[in-house]
Amino acid sequence: MSKRPPQAPRGRGARSNPDNRYEALSRSAVDDGWGNLDAEPPPLATTLTVDASRSVISYNQSPDVGFDRSINPYRGCEHGCVYCFARPSHAWLGLSPGLDFESRLFYKPDAAELLRQELAAPKYRCAPIAVGINTDAYQPVERRLHITRAILEVLRECEHPLTIITKSWLVERDIDILAEMAGKGLVQVMVSVTTLRHELARTLEPRASAPRRRLEIIRHLSEAGIPVGVMVAPLIPVLTDAELETILADARLAGARSAGYVLLRLPHEVKDLFREWLTEHTPTQAEHVMARIRDSRGGKDYDAQFGERMRGTGIYADLIAQRFRLAYQRLGFEPAGPLETGRFRPPRLATDQLSLF
């Protein structure tokens, strides 16, 4: 009997469901000679489980990100981007960073109420909250759960600044809230664009909005007066790096004011999941891709060092940085301005005590 991975379900990014790094035992699919691994598997259903977290704002001290607090309404992400740096976080839940990450989701139904309580705490000090950093706040399940919108309603009520990064058209649903907050200097949205090639995106990020649709998102937000930028992320050596200037130019034409990029990151289990994807979808380029990644990561698949993990090091990484800088200047991008924090008003909690005023 031979061991080999079974076929992956259609419409999913990961090709397998490896055990997480905390498990003492490992499993592997075995061909028993009856062709049990040859048949196409049935569609993989998405399941939802309540996340019983007692807080909703997460704080960080990372020196190379532009925020110190964030809100993630969901754990796991149905977009299924095979390269997602957040996949290893599913191992903390005893699940796989592979197919589990994109099909076994956790949601916070009381996120808005938890946020209200945290913002009302006497010791809370206002600073921009980044919404949807670990996983997309506008992934498909948000269409019916409306958790992200409820969070925005609380932030609007308190006039609390926020930033959003997404690759979903669903952010347009909340233009009414975002436009109102933009008029007060309270919001900045970044739209993530990995590639403009539809066929590549369909396997690389199977349930995210199509590439050209993301340019429309930028246009619609810009027309509504909402400060919007483009994040070329992740930039994948060999596969998408040639598109850098084109993505920036098209996004600028659509109305993006600011821009950034992140070089592909492959922490923990992500490197093996990405290798599986390369072997299946771009086998002739697989080794070239990984060689360029190692060139920019000190000879390794990934280097998590602060200050270098987002951009990489070495000749290849320096070349990408120079190309980005030149295109950024030529196209007239500008840094995103600071958001207004002085308007913040703590929310009033429902209590039996009467107000003095």
Percent of the chain with pLDDT over 70: 90
Residue 25 lies in a domain: no
Output the six-digit token pair for 347: 């929310």
pTM of the model as a whole: 0.91
The answer to the question of residue 73 being in a domain is yes
Number of structural domains, the chain? 1
H or E element that contains 263: strand 258-263
pLDDT, one tens digit per residue, over 48-67 is 999 988 999 999 988 888 89
1, pLDDT greater than 50: no
Q: What DSSP letter does each residue of 163-191 carry, written as one string?
A: EEEE--GGGGGGHHHHHHHHTTT-EEEEE
Asked whether residue 154 is domain-assigned, the answer is yes
Instruction: Please state the φ and ψ torsions of residue 232, each to the nearest 5 degrees.
Output: -80, 95
Tell whether 339 is covered by a domain.
Answer: no
| pLDDT 10s digits, 248-304 | 999 999 999 999 999 999 999 999 999 999 999 999 999 999 999 999 999 999 998
CA 164 to each of CA 71, 72, 167, 171: distance values in angstroms, whole numbers, following the listed order: 10, 11, 10, 9
Is 17 part of any domain?
Answer: no
Q: Quick one: the chain helix, strand, coil %, rounded to 5?
A: 35, 15, 50
In a domain, 214, yes or no: yes
Torsion angle defined by CA atoms of residues 240, 329, 63 and 163, in that order, rounded to the nearest 10 degrees: -80
* Res 9: pLDDT: 78
Mean pLDDT of 158-178: 98
Percent of the chain clearing pLDDT 90 (strictly above): 81
Average pLDDT over residues 141-168: 98
pLDDT tens column, 214-233: 999 999 999 999 999 999 99
Domain at 279, CATH number: 3.20.20.70
pLDDT grade, residue 38 (50/70/90)? low
How many CB atoms neighbour CB 185 within 10 A?
17
pLDDT of residue 40: 66
Residue 35 has pLDDT above 80, yes or no: no
Q: What is the pLDDT of residue 7?
A: 61
Residue 255 falls inside a structural domain: yes
Q: What is the mean pLDDT of residues 196-225?
A: 97
The pair of three-digit structure tokens given for residue 241, joined into one six-digit string: 């790096």
- Measured distance CA(90)–CA(72) in Å, rounded: 14
pLDDT 10s digits, 72-102: 999 999 999 999 999 999 998 999 999 999 9
Residue 340 within any structural domain of the chain? no
Does pLDDT of 313 surpass 80? yes
Mean pLDDT, residues 196-200 taken together: 97
**Per-residue pLDDT tens over the stretch 2-31:** 344 556 777 899 988 888 776 766 666 666
> Residue 66: its pLDDT value, please?
86
Domain of 98, in residue numbers: 48-331
